[in-house]
């Protein structure tokens, strides 16, 4: 039992599990922000352009009786697909922005490393070149 607890502790504290948990929690919160952006800011003007049609209300009767009709609710599917595309696009833009920031941070660091080559490296290069000859 003690070995199992130690193994579990090592598993949890390894870092990957904690990073994953933080990512899932932040991803869930980020998803709520993007969903609000879509539902509250993007979709109302689009709905206005298409005569106040709410995509979630779009459906087609495919059978059943008058008392219990059966509908194919394709509007909700379209809405969820649109939300997915918007979330994917926003995540793409965030990752792209972070990559630009990372690239800008690396560029000055590389230019500051333009110090002269140490003598031992120069000596090793001379030895290498002499061995090639």
Per-residue pLDDT of 49-91, as tens digits, reads: 877 777 778 889 999 898 999 999 898 888 888 878 887 887 8
Give the lowest-confidence range in 81-85, 115-119, 124-128, 129-133. 115-119
Class of domain 2-104: mainly alpha
Chain-centre distance of CA 79, in angstroms? Answer: 20
Q: What is the pLDDT of residue 70?
A: 93
Contacts of 61 (CB under 8 A, 6+ apart): 69, 70, 71, 72
What are the boundaries of each domain within the chain? 2-104
Q: Is the pTM of this model over 0.75?
A: no
Q: What is the pLDDT of residue 46?
A: 78
Per-residue pLDDT of 101-112, as tens digits, reads: 888 887 765 555
Residues facing 72 on adjacent strands: 60
User: What phi and psi, each to the nearest 5 degrees, are found at residue 71?
Assistant: -115, 150
């Amino acid at each position: 039992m003690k070995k199992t607890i130690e193994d579990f502790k090592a598993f949890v504290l390894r870092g990957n599990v904690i990073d994953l948990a933080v990512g899932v929690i932040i991803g869930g919160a980020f998803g709520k922000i993007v969903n609000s952006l879509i539902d509250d800011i993007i979709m109302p003007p689009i709905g206005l352009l298409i005569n106040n049609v709410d995509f979630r209300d779009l459906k087609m009767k495919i059978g059943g009786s008058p008392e219990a009709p059966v509908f194919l609710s394709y509007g909700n599917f379209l809405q969820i697909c649109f939300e997915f595309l918007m979330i994917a696009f926003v995540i793409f833009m965030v990752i792209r922005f972070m990559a630009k920031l990372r690239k800008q941070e690396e560029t000055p660091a590389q230019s500051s490393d333009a110090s002269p080559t140490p003598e031992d490296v120069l000596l090793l290069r001379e030895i290498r070149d002499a061995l090639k000859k």
